[in-house]
Structure 1
């Protein structure tokens, strides 16, 4: 009798209480992914649709290909990916095309092939293989017409090499190595023409470090570590200019606040213990699901999440066109901006403790603001520079060597 009562209470909790908690977190349960339960698949979005491809299930490796319609909350299966089945692949998008490749297949091993999917014609095209052999659980991000790929596992120890793929010329170019330890299952994203890499799993050690890549100078800058332990197998996304990292070997969600150059905890997905899930963004919502838990059990559940429901700080998007150069610098740099009228411009420099260390106020119109801190008492480090006027306010990270 007691067991029956407990079971009934559990059902009531699942049907009534749990959905309410999810709603408070901004979570909405969606239709389950209808394919085989799996982990380490790849996800991407183009236009108004999301896609899932590949992965690893209890029955083997996958090359099936699915499209998700958020309006109808329905999945449809498309023609299989024409390459070998695999898991732990990379996948990024540029325009109406997706780029998919690498990964692991048994008994072939690590894959180095690279493919383009055209969503308009619904066709696949094989591209130039990645040099230096195959790998899986690598990172990738897109800046302009170039795809940057690195880290991953293609031998012992894990890799930290870094490559640039030119979409226009279908060629690969070796870049400066990622300066952190080699790793797998890291996360990566791009924003404001820079790339970012964080977390992951090294040889016997999980990572919480955070790095910024500058493609113009082919340089890396280490930023403050992520304080919340996300470790490995997480996913990242950018909504409303705010980067997020979620789930992974710990089921946290954190967001990056450019005002203090720090990652902040936003929510814990207590009921969703998940590694190696897929995710993609459509509009102002991120969709995620599948993956495995710490007991290596695969899942097919699927969720949507809107950070705005939780009152995520909104950063006003400025219409001001500006550029800081050089960045990083030794303390002497210029701010180039364009405004249609003469007005008072405020320039502030804030350290990682939130302290104002420099302020300047001047009347400016189109032109440059020249700032020289090379002989000041300001120490090398990572700062937030804020420029504001009568109807705008914009911030950018500044690195002083």
Structure 2
């Protein structure tokens, strides 16, 4: 009887030792997994508290731009599989959206938009057909008027998922897709007669759609997007609008290619947010033209999404709408220089 009892005690002790060892291994394994899952402490704070959602219905592939101290957003493609032409103004001080006159052209998605002085411009896109028309918005009169359409050496500038930016009193539009990928670029100068377009040096990075563009100082930067070889790019090119209109290759965002990211500029830095690689993304990257270098910032806290829009106003980057399994209408603020704060 005593031998049996001793044997049982030894067996129980061995069992406990094995169990403790297994538990310790599990803790170490889970700890290692958690370390990989937790994002490092990057700089930049996302917040939604105190900000209204976009006032229009949920959508993707809309446009956004600024005129003065106000933001504007509209058009796009809805969850009801309808193309839209509604147009909204955002006041960052009073924090509300106001509906404005509907876009003057046909309802569409994947258009481009920019502002020159106190006027906004929206054009190209897809309404069931590829579009080349452009429309000017005057916030003072809350009216749209059609201006000259985007030309092309092939006879029509019609395209979707092009890219656009403004330097001084001129705008630049190029790239995109019309059944074929494009790499041409055009300069627009507004005037009372509808403005005029002229072709400039083609983009040297190759044909692509869904590219990104931002402006820092007197230079523009264009890159990313999906090329005609079905590859998403991570490159970046600087455009100098001087007499020679030179494109210069700059630092790539190595190992982070994407198409359709949001691109904005703020305080002499450029920002790339989200986009699509194999799936939707939520990472944020800051480009410094002085050092020609990329720095990762705090990832978007609203989750992965694609085809979102945004703009920068009063030292804040605003970002919202798009799709992530469902269509979205939320809007977030991002301060890229602030320390991350949870639950705000």
* 1:171 maps to 2:196: yes
Can you give the 5+ residue segments of structure 2 that lack an aligned partner in the other structure? 1-40
* 1:269 maps to 2:289: no
Q: Which has the higher contact order (CA 8 A, sep 6+)?
A: 2
Tell me the residue number matched to 1:72. Answer: 94
* 1:298 maps to 2:320: no
Tell me the residue number matched to 1:223. Answer: 250
1:129 equivalent among 145, 149, 153: 149
**Would the alpha carbon gap of residues 27 and 228 (structure 1) be closer, same or farther in structure 2, given more than 3 Å must change?**
farther
66-75 or 177-186, which deviates more = 66-75
8 A contact 1:230–1:251 mirrored in 2: no
CA deviation after TM superposition for structure 1 residue 75, in Å = 1.6
CA deviation after TM superposition for structure 1 residue 67, in Å = 1.3
Tell me the residue number matched to 1:245. Answer: 272
8 A contact 1:22–1:28 mirrored in 2: no
Cα distance in 1 between the residues matched to 2:70 and 2:247: 34
1:115 equivalent among 132, 135, 140: 135
* 1:211 maps to 2:237: yes
Tell me the residue number matched to 1:142. Answer: 166
8 A contact 1:256–1:264 mirrored in 2: yes
CA deviation after TM superposition for structure 1 residue 181, in Å = 2.0
Tell me the residue number matched to 1:84. Answer: 106
Bigger radius of gyration among the two: 2
Cα distance in 2 between the residues matched to 1:77 and 1:160: 35
Residue-pair matches, total: 286
CA deviation after TM superposition for structure 1 residue 176, in Å = 1.5
**Residues 95-110 of structure 1 mapped to structure 2, 5 A cutoff:** 95-106=117-128, 109-110=129-130
Tell me the residue number matched to 1:184. Answer: 209
CA deviation after TM superposition for structure 1 residue 246, in Å = 0.9
8 A contact 1:214–1:220 mirrored in 2: yes
Can you give the 5+ residue segments of structure 1 that lack an aligned partner in the other structure? 1-20, 312-401
Task: Summarize deviations over 1:112-144 as a string: whole Å, max 9, x none.
Answer: 001111112222111001112211110111112
Task: Summarize deviations over 1:219-273 as a string: whole Å, max 9, x none.
Answer: 2111121125151111111111111111212211111123431111112125421
1:38 equivalent among 36, 54, 59: 59
8 A contact 1:228–1:265 mirrored in 2: no
Answer 1 or 2: which has greater strand percent: 1
Cα distance in 2 between the residues matched to 1:148 and 1:126: 18
Cα distance in 2 between the residues matched to 1:231 and 1:165: 28
8 A contact 2:43–2:297 mirrored in 1: no
TM-score by length of 1: 0.68
Tell me the residue number matched to 2:26. Answer: none
Q: What's the secondary structure of 2:225's corresponding residue?
A: strand
Q: List structure 1 runs of 4+ shifted beyond 6 angstroms.
A: 21-24
Tell me the residue number matched to 1:254. Answer: 285
